[in-house]
Structure 1
């Protein structure tokens, strides 16, 4: 019960914070400015204002009230129009000091306006920068000469010190702006990196899906040509296998293309890594869910490749990414066997350990042939599939090795830490 009571204020605070964030910047500034009015115009806080001249102070009258309002009210638009806000407040401050307005905390609005100009205004460049700097210096000199003409007791040191204080207020704003821009760039680069990783992941998935299914379909189509001459009654079985492989390929391709079309980008929107402010779904969660290894082996066997599957150890629940990685290792190895060693015996061995999963796919071939005797190459392999498998396995801290067997043929072996169930 005490935990429930303690959680209620936190939930209420989160709800209030969410509603506050939903307001626009100008609305939030207006609320803050209006809430601080009693503090700003209270007599007890008046001596804390930003005062420069030591001229005699006059009591409140209509011009003094208007100047004090002009010192504080423009802060409502300090983020939307920081330049205009600073110009209004600076002019009001100069008039307030030259006319000997009453003491008020509203004069600190000049400091706030300078900070806002540094933090939110775009930095002028080229001729505009020179004109802005010249206008600021000229305005400040006119202000100093005006005070001196009114017999202000201030000396050059006082004017320089006050100018330094104003410059520091602006400089703090520029520092915050630079930090904010750097953070924005960091998030943008992070999103770009996440986009590149996701594109690479989808490219690997497309390679695995298309290569395996299309290879099986080509092998089955070639076999059907021979069956038309020798055993036409078995052509139906071959065509059925081609249709099954094609449907499986279309299902996987539609899933992958759906990932791309869902948000118009491979990263799935703003936040991905995205976007700044949110977490992208795990890559494995958006990958096509693999079927069982038995189904994969059966499809390859239907394509004319003699394949055997052996599983050892107690089958444990695996993390979805690990399960998909193991499935792709077997799929790529069987695809290579279909391409480079068609008709040769292929063995798939899976060892379920307590902490890792071992997968080995080995095929027989002519001695010294490496990948086995090649009857009709379906295309040149550049090893990109194995490179992708190494990257996929290494993500989980695993290892993959592939090479020719001493007695002929080829072997692919992967060791992947089992991880935790997704």
Structure 2
């Protein structure tokens, strides 16, 4: 139970680093509606405060015709000045000139408009909203109800959607500190109607956060499952290549030796016996290498049951050449330079180049002579196998062996060239870069 919860929590943490899922049309429309609603509330509050400071109407004196003389009226009692419209709570006096009104209307729109991009560019939207809010309230006590809501939504979106997780958290904390520090200008008064609005905000934000995290975790799990499938496919391809290299060479040699033994069994028993011994040796070698391949598939085998024989490398090329000579093929082996310690994989890849080339000669060029060159140089390792060509056989190849060789060599930064020679025959040449 604890392990499952731990795995789930780790998946949630990794999902935090993922970009948010692709924005749907409904989500974009909701963001636009939210931004417009908050911008309209801020603009309406700005206009309401501006109207509350309008001067009282001017009264003009009455005029009478000149031919009518009435006694003077008693003086009117002084009228009380008109009562101004109520200002927002906490605001004592606001006087906005026309340029200031236009500027505050523009800033009021900018305090909410960046929320349209709160999912795609959450960190930039947070800073845009925060800066516009500070400028909107700078030196002018205006109602902060809608600007405060815009800052809350922007901070929440930055923490939830930004792929820069820690910078987003730091930015949200900074905005919160500034809001508390300037609470007389940026924090709204907790009126009864506003308390209900504040109670709905966290409920909606938490519900949306849970939904978003679930989406991210599902995306991460799908990506992990796809990566696992790709890894399994690559491992299957590698094991298939190993099986091809091991089985094809040894079985080809065994087939040639068995055919030779059948032909001389009656007339030359000694040669037949030697051919059968070569078949036996090839079979044992094939079984040994097959154990190496099968060990790749063993997941729960005990260490003491594992085959401790080393994987083949360039040091076993002489033994490989001897086995092919036993089939009647003339093989010349030349090793030049000072051998160095090679990585196990590169050593095996170089050995497979020689093995596959000899296999192709035995299968497709009966009676050919083969020259093997292994050259150790300071800057490269060169492996070249050249045959002189021979009578074609009935064995048809599919080219998979050479394709696999090219992939093996490329893994270690090397190159593989193969093709017929102008004078006849075939050449396979692999060059591995030196190990630094």
TM-score interval (norm. to shorter): 0.5 to 0.7
Equivalence for 1:319 = 343
Q: Which of 170, 186, 192 pairs up with 1:154?
A: 192
Shift in Å, 1:221: 0.8
Equivalence for 1:407 = 423
User: CA separation of 1:345/1:164 partners in 2, compared to 1, >3 Å: closer, same or farther?
Assistant: same
The reply on whether 1:362 has 2:386 as its aligned counterpart is yes
User: CA separation of 1:23/1:194 partners in 2, compared to 1, >3 Å: closer, same or farther?
Assistant: closer
In structure 2, distance between residues paired with 1:310 and 1:294: 10
Name structure 1 gaps, 5 residues minimum: 1-20, 29-114, 120-151, 265-284, 366-371
- Secondary structure of residue in 2 paired with 1:347: strand
In structure 2, distance between residues paired with 1:288 and 1:333: 19
Q: Which of 221, 229, 236 pairs up with 1:192?
A: 229
In structure 2, distance between residues paired with 1:23 and 1:312: 58
Report 1:381-400 matches (<5 A). 381-400=397-416
Name structure 2 gaps, 5 residues minimum: 10-155, 161-189, 302-307
In structure 1, distance between residues paired with 2:357 and 2:428: 7
User: CA separation of 1:287/1:163 partners in 2, compared to 1, >3 Å: closer, same or farther?
Assistant: farther
**Greater C-alpha Rg:** 2
Deviations 1:337-374 (A, max 9, x none): 00111221100001111132111100012xxxxxx321
The TM-score normalised by the length of structure 1 is: 0.54
- Secondary structure of residue in 2 paired with 1:292: helix
* 1:216/1:335 contact within 8 Å kept: yes
- Secondary structure of residue in 1 paired with 2:422: coil
The reply on whether 1:256 has 2:293 as its aligned counterpart is yes
The reply on whether 1:336 has 2:360 as its aligned counterpart is yes
In structure 2, distance between residues paired with 1:364 and 1:188: 50
Shift in Å, 1:187: 2.2
In structure 1, distance between residues paired with 2:213 and 2:263: 75
In structure 2, distance between residues paired with 1:352 and 1:307: 20
User: CA separation of 1:286/1:162 partners in 2, compared to 1, >3 Å: closer, same or farther?
Assistant: farther
In structure 2, distance between residues paired with 1:263 and 1:200: 21
In structure 2, distance between residues paired with 1:287 and 1:160: 74
Shift in Å, 1:229: 4.1
User: CA separation of 1:418/1:153 partners in 2, compared to 1, >3 Å: closer, same or farther?
Assistant: closer
Shift in Å, 1:233: 1.7
